[in-house]
Structure 1
Amino acid sequence: MRSKYFIGFCVLLFHVFASATAANILSLIEVLEPDQQIWYDALFKGLIGRGHTLTVVSGNARPTKSSHITQIHLDEIAKTLRQNNSPKLFSNTWLSPFEQLFYWYDRQMKICQSVLSSDGLQELIELAPSQSEEQQPYDLILYDATYGPSCLLLLTELFKNVPIVGVSASQITPDLLSVARGSQVQPATVPHFLTAHSENMNFFVRLHNTIIYAMGDFFRKYVVTSVQEAMLAKSEWLKEAQIKPKLENIIERIKVVLVNSHPSIDYVHSLPPNVVEVGGLQFDNFNRAVSVDIQTFIDNSKGVFVITISDVESPHVIETVTQTVDKFPEYGFIWGAEKGSLPAVGSRANLFVGKWLKRSVVLAQHKVRALITTGSHMEIQEAVYHGVPVIAISHGLDNIAQHAQDLGFGIKVDLRVDPGMLTNAIQVLTSDGNFSEIAKSRQLAFRIRPQHPLDTALWWIEHVIANPIETGYIFSQAVAETSFFVLHSLDVMAVFAFTFAMFLINSYIVFKQLKESCKPKKQTENSVKTISSNRKPKKAERNKKKSE
């Protein structure tokens, strides 16, 4: 009996402690890709497990059974994206970097417009405290920092003085670094994510890369941010709430940025302490069994290739892949897609087509030889986590596919140039074990860490909640306030360059004067020689006459 009372007392004490440390968190996420939603679900699940409650404002409407999550749907975002993608004119993978840059920021401004026209915005405004209220309803704001100073970031002005933690399920982007104080871009060593450059860039490639970074910075500062602030200023709902958001007033509240990247598979950045890499927090290290039909298919194959190419790809790509499948009857191919969405695939003994449920579970099978993908960041990350090489089908300007090839665990193929490249890539992977060895090595580098990335992310979030002021000391204020010109000591180098240029100019002037001063002397010597040479014949003639 006493033991029951003791256990009940412990449970009561735990709930009291949890309620004392639990926080109300507001999450602002504009739009997510399906695989990025897995990353956020893992983060939200971890926060709920710690006793926190979440209010999720997003353009993705997903049913949830958790009583700790309240959703506010920004309904117009999905409509805008469908209308924006319908013309197929600005399809990211087929554009030059400059056109992609325009599309990237034009998309952000359209999303901002859809946020302001969504009914969910009114619900968000109603959650904000009035001007007379000092108590804030939230202890922390989680904000998707992938797109930098987006519309939802400006809306955090509704909840003044609430600390902000930036999160991103994507790779590190210049826009993300623009809201992380003390960070800086590195165009000389890190290719822009909209290019297909490798890390070893010559002068002309670095020049091209730097111009793209500069154009992106110009668009972000002087076009996107200004347009978004103007949009918010015209919103009737925000006028009634007496809110006039300004970006410079909000950046200081961003304490930490958590990003889904890791130096073992992503480009290495010189990051300040307030940018924390927590790549792979969605993986839980549990080995789960696949379905019976998939397991039977794998057991009857010499090896398995996993395909994650969706039905939105061109018919030419899908046809090339299916023709390649026919060339390797001894290997099995698992294609994760709706069977009805790939009518050209048909029925093949070595091809399993099914609705994609657990891609990571299939990649964990030991018979998997490679992942055939179009090269999204999350897919490459899953492949490395399971030590599987990658065949990345490129469209010419795929930064992730190029980086996988540069690191040695992937092969980049462009089916537009040569449809046979996919066949050659499969032959190389099945005959050359070096790709698998590098993938396994990258797997170890990605997995071995002091603590699980989810625990790291949760620690930083709770640290900001408990110490919002102190977390503002972990970046360099000098770097944040210094211009690019001074930060890279370009003014100092300009002094050396000017001094050296003056030295060359003065040296040229001095040598020129010396040359001119020596010129008359040579002429005098030549004239003397000429006179003396003329005198000698005359003297000889006189001597001859005397002798006669």
Structure 2
Amino acid sequence: MRLGCAWLALGLLLHANLFLDLGQAANILGIFPYRLPSPFQMVRPLVQALVGRGHKVTMITPVGLPADIEGVRHIRVPMLNTLMQDLIDSDQFLELLGNKWREGVLTATIFSNVSHAILNDTGVRRMMSDKSERFDMILLEASHLDALYGLAEFYNASLVGVSCVNINWNIDYLAGNPAPSVYEPISPMGFALDYSLISRWNNWIYITEEKMLERLVFRPAQAKVSKKFFGYSAEKLSELRSRFSVILINSHFSMGRVRSNVPNIIEVGGLHLSEPSEPCSEELLRFMDEAEHGVIYFSMGLDILVKYLPDNMENKLLQTFAQLKQRVIWKNELSMLPNKPDNIYVIKKAPQRQLLAHPNVRLFISHGGLQSVMEGIDSGVPMLGLPVFFDQFNNLHRVQLAGMAEVLDTNALDADALASAITKMVENPSYAKKAKEMSKSFKDRPMSPLETAIWWTEYALRNRDVTHMRLNAEEIPLIRYYRLDSVITFATRFGFIFGSVIFLAWRLYQKNRSRQRRLWERQRTFMQIQMPMNTYESDS
């Protein structure tokens, strides 16, 4: 009898736990319009983990990216593919890195077209018109896709952001973290990386221009899309920008950039490392194992093809690698290279994490993509950077300041400079030592990046109101926000002291001048008296 009661109690307990788990399961809508494979390296493990925890996930993405994820309902938007291809084929693509305002107008148009393509897609419209559809959370890239924030209001859902690149001032504002001391640009091209007074002044102008572009170009373009599909006013759109509960950023303080964040900015750098790495082939392993002087691994990432590199760069690289005593593994979509030396192994698709983990790898030559930099840090391998565009310069600059990397100018690259830099980094043990130290710090966390991301995502589900985690600049008086009260107080004190010193100095100068004048007048009077007396004596 007691045994039967025990089994009954256990059954009821399991049933209760099952009911509790089902009750906690949420409907999540993820919107990721990326047309490059690298950002999905961060998104995919997060979505898979959410599905594994019982959440129902729907993803709106381009056709083909990412590959179908088991347990996820995919809504593919073909127009996203068309928009990107049209951009690449157009002459405007080359102008993107030109004048900032022209760049801003073109980029705003791209984002506006992306938002319009998603909200106008047949599958998305069918989903929105289905009265039985409900979502507890909207998960999307925290970028200039403001019109899509309207889905959070449409479904009365939590709004959670993901940033697959480094954080910038716009993400700070979306998270309620508008601290002037931590501002970083959206587009880092032309943004000074040093901290001189002139550079800081120029950077302030740079950020101010970006804010003007955001206010005058980006927001109005998104407001038109929002008005068309939701009927929301520009004021409503501004209100939705403050609805972000949590923003997961692909960064970590151990990577060389410590910043002040409000609690809802969550650093999950390295989240993609939770996925199993691809194995190396036996031939590749043998090539590395037999490398007497070590191995150098060279890759420009998933998104940059060798054929797009500057003119003659491929020949310069080949010429340099042929001179090295180390063996070189070159990730290159052109699997057949003419006149390839025996010390070079060309591979079209490289198992990068396994390569970097091999004990014979001495140096990682990289374009500086954020994922690649993290993998280099995680493996403790020194890096030689060849940045090409966007955030790659800043990513490499940080690890260079930390002491585990050097950076070369890709446009002014020559074989001698490249060979000299490689020799210096391979033979100087300080780079490897610093890389190991950064790797240890990068891995030393209370929870893994994926566990951290899941916990905070579900926190946003449990806590719809997260105003206590945000700093709303609009609620803070201008004088207090910029600490003008302290500045005015300091300026008043300094001005009083400085004025008093000037006043006392002036009085002392006046007093000394008066004394000198009196002495001079006395001397003149005495000389006038002496002259008649001398005249009288001479006459006598």
* Band of TM-score, shorter chain: 0.7 to 0.9
Higher fraction of helix: 2
AA in 1 matched with 2:297: V
Counterpart in the other structure of 1:126? 126
Counterpart in the other structure of 2:154? 159
Pairing 1:289-368 to 2, within 5 Å after superposition = 289-302=279-292, 303-309=294-300, 310-311=305-306, 312-328=308-324, 330-339=325-334, 346-368=339-361
Assess, with a 3 A threshold, how the Cα gap between structure 1 residues 7 and 338 changes in structure 2: closer, same or farther. Answer: farther
Instruction: Encode CA deviations 1:459-483: one digit per residue, 9 max, x unaligned.
Output: 11112112212x3322345x56336
Match of 1:34, SS? coil
Q: Is the CA contact 2:329–2:346 (under 8 Å) kept in the aligned structure 1?
A: yes
Instruction: Encode CA deviations 1:97-128: one digit per residue, 9 max, x unaligned.
Output: xx468636632432322431457534324323
Assess, with a 3 A threshold, how the Cα gap between structure 1 residues 201 and 63 changes in structure 2: closer, same or farther. Answer: closer
- Give the Cα separation in 2 of the matches to 1:451 and 1:151: 32
TM-score (norm 1): 0.84
Match of 1:353, SS? strand
Assess, with a 3 A threshold, how the Cα gap between structure 1 residues 30 and 112 changes in structure 2: closer, same or farther. Answer: farther
AA in 2 matched with 1:406: L
AA in 1 matched with 2:138: I
Counterpart in the other structure of 1:51? 54
Pairing 1:8-407 to 2, within 5 Å after superposition = 16-59=19-62, 61-62=64-65, 64-66=67-69, 68-86=71-89, 99=99, 103=103, 106-117=106-117, 121-128=121-128, 137-145=134-142, 147=143, 149-156=144-151, 159-186=154-181, 194=188, 201-233=195-227, 235=228, 238=229, 242-244=231-233, 246-284=236-274, 289-302=279-292, 303-309=294-300, 310-311=305-306, 312-328=308-324, 330-339=325-334, 346-395=339-388, 398-407=393-402
* Deviation at residue 49 of structure 1 after TM alignment: 0.8
Counterpart in the other structure of 1:494? 488
Instruction: Encode CA deviations 1:240-293: one digit per residue, 9 max, x unaligned.
Output: x54446332213321111111111114211011110101111213867631222
* Deviation at residue 416 of structure 1 after TM alignment: 3.3
TM-score (norm 2): 0.85
Assess, with a 3 A threshold, how the Cα gap between structure 1 residues 287 and 217 changes in structure 2: closer, same or farther. Answer: closer
Match of 1:81, SS? helix
- Give the Cα separation in 2 of the matches to 1:127 and 1:287: 36
- Give the Cα separation in 1 of the matches to 2:452 and 2:101: 33
* Number of aligned positions between the proteins: 525
Q: Is the CA contact 2:150–2:240 (under 8 Å) kept in the aligned structure 1?
A: no
- Give the Cα separation in 2 of the matches to 1:113 and 1:453: 33
Assess, with a 3 A threshold, how the Cα gap between structure 1 residues 158 and 76 changes in structure 2: closer, same or farther. Answer: farther
- Give the Cα separation in 2 of the matches to 1:434 and 1:509: 57
Alignment root-mean-square deviation, CA:
3.6
Q: Is the CA contact 1:170–1:259 (under 8 Å) kept in the aligned structure 2?
A: yes
Instruction: Encode CA deviations 1:111-162: one digit per residue, 9 max, x unaligned.
Output: 32243145753432432368xx7x86001111111x2x42454332552431
- Give the Cα separation in 1 of the matches to 2:134 and 2:167: 31
Assess, with a 3 A threshold, how the Cα gap between structure 1 residues 57 and 104 changes in structure 2: closer, same or farther. Answer: farther
Assess, with a 3 A threshold, how the Cα gap between structure 1 residues 47 and 67 changes in structure 2: closer, same or farther. Answer: same
Assess, with a 3 A threshold, how the Cα gap between structure 1 residues 160 and 483 changes in structure 2: closer, same or farther. Answer: farther
Instruction: Encode CA deviations 1:273-322: one digit per residue, 9 max, x unaligned.
Output: 11010111121386763122222222232322221123221232222111
- Give the Cα separation in 1 of the matches to 2:45 and 2:381: 23
Pairing 1:441-480 to 2, within 5 Å after superposition = 441-469=437-465, 471-477=466-472, 479=473
Structure 2: state its 5+ residue gaps. none
* Deviation at residue 487 of structure 1 after TM alignment: 1.9
Assess, with a 3 A threshold, how the Cα gap between structure 1 residues 426 and 485 changes in structure 2: closer, same or farther. Answer: farther
Assess, with a 3 A threshold, how the Cα gap between structure 1 residues 37 and 192 changes in structure 2: closer, same or farther. Answer: closer
**Which of 160-169 and 415-424 deviates more?**
415-424
* Deviation at residue 388 of structure 1 after TM alignment: 1.2
